[in-house]
Amino acid sequence: METPIPDYLAEVLAACAADASGAVADYIPELAQVEPEQLGVVLATVDGAVYEAGDCDAGFTIQSISKPFVYALALQQRGLDAVLDQVDVEPSGEAFNELSLEKGSGRPLNPMINAGAIVVHTMVGDAGDPQARCEQVLAGLSAFAGRPLGVDEAAYASESETAFRNYAIANMLRSRDSIVEDPEDVVAAYTRQCSVRVTTRDLALMAATLANGGVHPLSEERVVEEWVARQVMSVMATCGMYDSAGDWISTVGFPAKSGVSGGIIGALPGQLGIAAFSPRLDPHGSSVRGVEVCRRLSADMGLHMM
Ligand code: DON
């Protein structure tokens, strides 16, 4: 099909490629090894058109972009009230790896920061069976992507050796019974969730599944119910970009989630999923070029929702 969109996307990438600022994540040793110049963008519409440019088939670990999708699985399985009882939906205004518990209830402030995501991870599947849960999480992420995904074992092993902050967070969560399993086992399982390997194309289709009310645009499988997709996109809008969430929603204007391997997704309800990838990060842990790609797409295509 003749279409000007890939040319436009290539132009956006060319404009963003000049920016070599930021640094690859190095607190996970395996992430420090990646080729930092990689850059890709994919748009997937809710009716199944996919437009791509750059390194859109390069594999990388999903990291924090797993959080909205695993939140969706927990909501679908447990219901809204049961999940809200454990994890709030308020922006923390702090970095992703701060403890950020709500004063009073002691719940993690939201499911997009590590503390909230670690609790949410344990709410998928049957309690007390971390291995079965990891399989359910992988199956759920695969359903969102519309193809079978796998775990990057080298990245998993690498992060497991240096996950000191997450062990600390999980121990704090265990001390107040927010999690009831052994904190080391929970961090291991959560780290496997973060180590699932995806491409930019996968992420765009995962985001498009949220934008499409929980139905994958190509496989047409209903992965989660519509209220779940709405809840997830709402929390992405307020909390997905951590301590830059306010700047993001006011300037770019759509629900988003970033990850420390350099991926970033946007989900525009009823319209499309967006994904960009480039490994160098800003101080908030989001891809420098990925953020810039989204800024340009939002401005050029009028994607700001407000
Ligand atoms: O738990 C961690 O620290 C990583 N596995 C994921 C953090 C992450 O992607 C934060 N996002 N920008």
The ipTM (two decimal places) reads 0.99
- In terms of domains, do 105 and 36 share one? no
Which three-class secondary structure state does DSSP give residue 276? Answer: strand
Ligand 1: residues within 6 Å at CB?
63-64, 96-97, 114, 159, 166, 194, 258-260, 285-286
- Sequence-separated (6 or more) residues with CB below 8 Å from residue 7: none
Which three-class secondary structure state does DSSP give residue 264? Answer: strand
- In terms of domains, do 168 and 221 share one? no
At residue 3 the predicted structure's pLDDT band, cuts being 50, 70 and 90, is low
- In terms of domains, do 103 and 205 share one? no
- Does the annotation place 97 within a ligand binding site? no
At residue 170 the predicted structure's pLDDT band, cuts being 50, 70 and 90, is very high
- In terms of domains, do 184 and 72 share one? yes
Domain carrying residue 286: 5-11+23-63+197-301
- Return the residue whose CA atom lies nearest to atom 4 of ligand 1: 63
- In terms of domains, do 267 and 213 share one? yes
Burial pattern 167-178, b for ≥16 Cβ within 10 A else e, equals eebbebbbeeeb
Residue that terminates a domain, selected from 162, 194, 226: 194
Per-residue pLDDT at 130 = 87
User: Is the confidence at residue 126, as pLDDT, over 90?
Assistant: no
- In terms of domains, do 182 and 238 share one? no
Instruction: Enter the pTM of the model.
Output: 0.98
217 lies in some domain = yes
51 lies in some domain = yes
- In terms of domains, do 96 and 36 share one? no
Amino acid at 28: I
C-alpha–C-alpha distance, residues 249 and 175, integer Å:
35
- Does the annotation place 110 within a ligand binding site? no
- The pLDDT tens digits of the residues spanning 190-223 come to 999 999 999 999 999 999 999 999 999 999 999 9
C-alpha–C-alpha distance, residues 267 and 263, integer Å:
14
Query: Tokens 């319209």 — which residue?
Result: 271
C-alpha–C-alpha distance, residues 251 and 306, integer Å:
10
Q: Considering only CA atoms, which of 289, 286, 267 is closest in space to residue 278?
A: 289
Which three-class secondary structure state does DSSP give residue 35? Answer: coil
- Does the annotation place 226 within a ligand binding site? no
- In terms of domains, do 232 and 260 share one? yes
- In terms of domains, do 202 and 262 share one? yes
Say how many Å lie between the CA of residue 68 and the centre of ligand 1.
12
16 lies in some domain = no
- In terms of domains, do 174 and 69 share one? yes
17 lies in some domain = no
Radius of gyration of the chain (CA): 18
- In terms of domains, do 58 and 117 share one? no
Q: Which atom of ligand 1 is nearest to the CA of 65?
A: 9
Maximum distance among all Cα pairs of the chain, rounded to whole angstroms: 59
At residue 127 the predicted structure's pLDDT band, cuts being 50, 70 and 90, is confident
- In terms of domains, do 171 and 256 share one? no
Tell me the CATH number at 167: 3.40.710.10
CB-based contact 41:293 (threshold 8 Å): yes
* Structural domain total, the chain: 2
- Return the residue whose CA atom lies nearest to atom 11 of ligand 1: 259
- The pLDDT tens digits of the residues spanning 241-296 come to 999 999 999 999 999 999 999 999 999 999 999 999 999 999 999 999 999 999 99
CB-based contact 303:286 (threshold 8 Å): no
Say how many Å lie between the CA of residue 260 and the centre of ligand 1.
5
306 lies in some domain = no
